[in-house]
Structures are given as C-alpha cells and as structure tokens.
Structure 1
Amino acid sequence: MSDVESRIADTMLAKLRERDPSLGPDDLNRPIADFDLDSLDMVELHQQLEIELQVKGDLTETAGFAFLNDFSAYFVKLASQG
C-alpha cells in the first residue's frame, strides 16, 4: 500500500469509527450502504480526504460511489495528478 493509499485508508477509517469503533481495514471494501452514513457524512468524508491530500474533488462524482474503495481509487487518482 502506498503512502497515499495508507493516508486515505486512515482518513476513511477515522470517519467510520465515529459510528462503529470496531471497524477495520477489511471494511473499506464494503458497500457504503452497509454503514449508517447519510449524505452529510459522505460530504464530510469527501472534505476530509481533500484536506488530507490537499486536492480538490468533485462532490457530484463521489456522490454516486457505491463502495468505499471507489473513494480510495478516486482520491488516489487526484493525488497522483498533482
């Protein structure tokens, strides 16, 4: 796992553990619908990832993601673009 991927995973887990402290790295492959997250939670996650990686993402694009690993792939791509 690259440094960027690790930072993304840590950021996502911190957000998920606000609801369920027992969640771990394996849970990052699950569908977003499996978690008790509303649209505000997803906007907050998006913003936290932007801050962590110092990038600017598109909320309309991430709003359609079904899996947490979609977020990871999207933000890895943004971070690699500079």
Structure 2
Amino acid sequence: MSDIEQRLAEIMLAKVRERHPSFGPDDLARPISELDLDSLDLVELHQQIERELQVTGDLTTTAGFAFLSDFGTYFVKLANRG
C-alpha cells in the first residue's frame, strides 16, 4: 500500500469511527449504505481528503460512489496527477 493509500484509509476509517467506534479496516470494504454515513458525512469526507492531499475532486462524481474504496481509487488518481 502506498503512502497516499495508507493516508486515505486512515482518513476514511476516522470518518466511519465517528459513527461506529468499533469499526476497523475491514469495514472499509463494506458498501457505504451499510456504514450509516449520510450525504453530509460523505461531503465532509470528500473535503477532508481534498485538504489532506491538496487536490480538488468533483462532488458530483464522489456522490455516486457505492464503496469507500471508490473514494480511495478516485483520490489516488487525482493525487498521482500532481
């Protein structure tokens, strides 16, 4: 796992743990609908990732993601574009 992927996993896990403190890394593979995250949580996650990685993503794109791993894939691509 790259440094960017590791950082993204930490950010996403922190957001999920706001709702369910007992969740762990394996829970990041579950569908967003099972994680009890609402649309505001997802916007906050999007914005936090943008700040951490210093990239700009498209909220319309990330709003359609079914899995947190989709966030990871999307933002890794943005970060690697430099």
The TM-score with structure 1 as length reference comes to 0.97
- How far residue 36 of structure 1 moved from its aligned partner, in angstroms, is 1.1
The structure richer in helix per residue is: 2
| Identical columns (%) | 73
Q: Which runs of 5+ in 2 are unaligned?
A: none
For 1:60 and 1:43, locate their aligned partners in 2 and report how far apart those are by CA, in whole Å: 10
Aligned position for 1:20: 20
Aligned position for 2:59: 59
Aligned position for 1:70: 70
Deviating beyond 6 angstroms after TM superposition, the runs of 4 or more aligned structure 1 residues are none
Q: Which runs of 5+ in 1 are unaligned?
A: none
Aligned position for 1:35: 35
Number of positions where the alignment pairs a residue of Structure 1 with one of Structure 2: 82
- How far residue 18 of structure 1 moved from its aligned partner, in angstroms, is 0.5
